[in-house]
Amino acid sequence: MTTESTLALPVGTTLDRFIMRQQESFAYAKGELSQLLRDIALASKIVGREINRAGLTDITGAFGRDNIQGESQQKLDVIANIRFKRALINGGEVCGILSEEEDDIIQTNNYNGKYVVAIDPLDGSSNIDVNVSIGTIFSIYRRVSPIGTPATFEDFMQGGRRQAAAGYILYGSSTVMVYTTGKGVNCFTYENSLGEFFFSNANIQMPVTGKIYSINDAYYDEFAPSIKSFIADMRVSSGAMARYIGSLVGDFHRNLLKGGIYLYPPTQKAKEGKLRLLYECYPLALILEQAGGRAIDGTQNILDIVPTKVHQRCVAYLGSKNLIDDLEQRVLNV
């Protein structure tokens, strides 16, 4: 089966059926990756339910501990981490997990699992308590360590280009799951009463340019002149719009559909950038590349960055091709 026949599936096809049909287009696929994507979708339904009723069940607010990034963990961060871990461990396809919420690689004890997953279980922590969109971001690799052994550091250090699949779930005005297995980007919308994700946006292509720029303006004075000049020119371009939720998944999804750019340059507090390479930047970079956009750290394509640490940070400029080209010229020409 070709990609075309998968993409020809009608809007309204269930996620499960879509995954099954897509699997048939990989000649030797045995269904493990399909099962893994279904496990992620299942966990996201449970997390989405917890988010929806958060205000009623005393699961908003701080958990009372910092994560490895030195950031205060929210109760929902902890709950989402538990739910995704449980689904991935029970699913059996994964030998190791890297989570934003845990210092070390998590061994699932499924030594025969062929995959590893890097995940930001809940993205946009500052928006949890105020009913604003939050998300989950994931990245999947085929392991490089031998089957039948525990997951290794090297399994997670393969670099962005070796991702087998990547995606995110946005818990917004509706819940959507967007993912790629390297054959285009597709979006599925959750229908609450039926408990199913349905195929809603086929083969998403990002507008080649856009009017939206998303950046935390509070750090403006700390930005390099090249970034300041880019923003200044965006501001005066006709129809320009500043849009910044502070939930990467929400800002990214909007810009993917409408065209625009998300910027997280180095700041005094976050000299290497704030976003995490393995479970924020690589997966979104792969989606962008598949959708015709671009992701750079200023000097190189994010997918080409060679990782050295599991919780490595990364400067990130994510967006429409023409906007990133423009930014890149300014950064390189200083």
Residues forming the site for Mn ion (CB under 5 A): 100, 120, 122-123
Query: Of the ranges 16-24, 153-161, 168-176, 244-252, which one interacts with ligand AHG (CB under 6 A)?
Result: 244-252
79 binds ligand AHG (CB under 6 A): no
Spatial separation of the C-alpha atoms in residues 143 and 164, rounded to whole Å: 10
Q: What is the DSSP track for 247-273?
A: -HHHHHHHHHHH-EEEEE---SS-TT-
3-state DSSP assignment of residue 289? helix
List the one residue from 125, 158, 180, 200 that touches ligand AHG (CB under 6 A): 125
- Cβ atoms of 16 and 45 within 8 Å: the answer is no
Residue number of the CB atom closest to Mn ion: 123
* 216: partner contacted, choices Mn ion, ligand AHG, none (Cβ within 5-8 A by kind): ligand AHG
Spatial separation of the C-alpha atoms in residues 219 and 44, rounded to whole Å: 33
102 binds ligand AHG (CB under 6 A): no
At closest approach, how far in Å is the CB of 284 from ligand AHG? Answer: 11
Angle subtended by helix axes 282-291 and 248-258, to nearest 10: 10
- State phi, psi for 228 to the nearest 5 degrees: -60, -45
Q: Sign of the C-alpha dihedral, residues 54, 58, 62, 66?
A: negative
200 binds ligand AHG (CB under 6 A): no
Query: Of the ranges 8-16, 121-129, 199-207, 225-233, which one interacts with ligand AHG (CB under 6 A)?
Result: 121-129
Q: How many residues does the chain have?
A: 334
44 binds ligand AHG (CB under 6 A): no
* 48: partner contacted, choices ligand AHG, Mn ion, none (Cβ within 5-8 A by kind): none
Query: Of the ranges 45-53, 154-162, 246-254, 302-310, which one interacts with ligand AHG (CB under 6 A)?
Result: 246-254
Q: What is the DSSP track for 123-146?
A: E-GGGGGGT--EEEEEEEEE--SP
List the one residue from 71, 102, 129, 326 that touches ligand AHG (CB under 6 A): 71
* 133: partner contacted, choices ligand AHG, Mn ion, none (Cβ within 5-8 A by kind): none
Task: Summarize as ranges the residues that interact with ligand AHG (CB under 6 A).
Answer: 71, 100, 120, 123-126, 216, 246-248, 274
